[in-house]
């Protein structure tokens, strides 16, 4: 950015390709090569204004003509790289039709020779396929976590259709002490029958799904997830409740959209909001109606990540 107060200013963007040398223990610039790529009015911006790069100065002409002449934005030019691709070791690939100068190899390629390896089409195809697989796995991880977040939010807001639509057409939902629903439409009906009507404006509900442990399949098309439930709720001016549990879920792609394939919820404890989990309520027959203080041994979909011990 540069300009004169009260007159106007400019935006400029470009790339430096420099060489450095140490002289008497001090690093200095040996050669500086600046490639201007964009110059525009400060107020108008690059979307409305594109100016050519300034040419040689008439008041202080250079010692020799510029080494490269090209057009700046809206034209596009890629200054040559002095190094090979630092990941693959391959020579830099430039967009076609740009009249690019040959790359200046520096010999910095891992391995020492500075010559890029020769890679055939088969190896290149394998690398592309592996990259796509890893991208699919990364997307699968995020998709599973996003489903858990959406599920908790929709339940909080009594959005039953949106909740049911998170499940695959043949998805299942198994809630301990409540029941098992098979199929998206059965889940939808169960939600609406169990919680008829709209959410009261005087009722608070926070259905938090935290600490997800997600394992994605090798092909990135499905995932298993274990996530903790921490829930609180209650009416304004009245007493509320605490609920905790463990979800074990599987997710997968249906019509290019990530969905729950199965969901199992096991409650570990519930409690009166004011009394807390330390106070255990009993029903009219003197029976404790919540899992706690009994420790419920819940299934894991994975081995112990530290010891490798199989789940019981």
Classified as helix, coil or strand, 137 is helix
pTM exceeding the 0.85 threshold for the entire prediction? no
CATH code: domain of residue 204: 3.10.450.50
H or E element that contains 145: helix 121-156
- Report pLDDT digits (tens) over 79-112: 888 888 888 888 888 776 444 444 444 444 444 4
Q: Which residues pair with 14 in a beta bridge?
A: 36
- Report pLDDT digits (tens) over 257-289: 999 999 999 988 888 888 777 776 665 565 555
The answer to whether residue 4 is domain-embedded is: no
Distances (CA, A) of 154 to 17, 165, 253: 53, 10, 20
| Highest mean pLDDT, choosing among 124-128, 183-187, 278-282, 290-294 | 183-187
- For 223, the domain range is 127-272
Decide: residue 186, CB within 10 A, 0-12 exposed, 13-18 middle, 19+ buried: middle
The answer to whether residue 58 is domain-embedded is: no
260, 247 Cβ separation under 8 angstroms: no
Q: Which residues pair with 16 in a beta bridge?
A: 34
Please give the tally of structural domains in the chain. Answer: 1
The answer to whether residue 251 is domain-embedded is: yes
The answer to whether residue 18 is domain-embedded is: no
């Amino acid at each position: 950015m540069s300009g004169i107060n009260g007159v106007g200013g400019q935006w400029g963007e470009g790339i430096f390709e420099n060489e450095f040398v140490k002289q008497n223990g001090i690093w200095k610039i040996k050669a500086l090569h600046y490639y201007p790529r964009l110059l525009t009015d400060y107020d108008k911006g690059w979307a409305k204004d594109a100016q050519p790069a300034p040419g040689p100065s008439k008041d202080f002409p250079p010692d020799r003509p510029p080494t490269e002449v090209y057009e700046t934005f809206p034209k596009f030019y890629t200054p040559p790289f002095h190094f090979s691709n630092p990941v693959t070791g391959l020579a830099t690939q430039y967009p076609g039709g740009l009249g690019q100068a040959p790359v200046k190899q520096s010999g910095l390629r891992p391995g020492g020779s500075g010559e890029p390896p020769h890679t055939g089409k088969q190896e290149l195809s394998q690398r592309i396929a592996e990259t796509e697989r890893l991208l699919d796995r990364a997307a699968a991880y995020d998709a599973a976590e996003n489903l858990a977040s959406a599920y908790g939010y929709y339940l909080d807001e009594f959005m039953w259709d949106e909740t049911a639509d998170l499940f695959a057409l043949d998805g299942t939902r198994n809630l301990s002490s409540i029941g098992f629903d098979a199929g998206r439409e059965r889940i939808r009906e169960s939600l609406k029958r169990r919680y008829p009507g709209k959410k009261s404006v005087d009722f608070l509900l926070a259905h938090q799904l935290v600490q997800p442990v997600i394992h994605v399949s090798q092909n990135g098309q499905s995932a298993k997830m274990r996530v903790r439930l921490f829930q609180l709720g209650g009416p304004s001016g009245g007493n509320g409740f605490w609920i905790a549990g463990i979800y074990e879920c599987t997710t997968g792609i249906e019509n290019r959209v990530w969905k729950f394939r199965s969901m199992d919820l096991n409650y570990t404890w519930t409690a009166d909001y004011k009394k807390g989990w330390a106070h255990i309520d009993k029903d009219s027959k003197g029976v404790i109606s919540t899992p706690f203080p009994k420790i419920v041994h819940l299934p894991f979909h994975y081995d112990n990540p530290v010891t490798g011990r199989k789940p019981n």
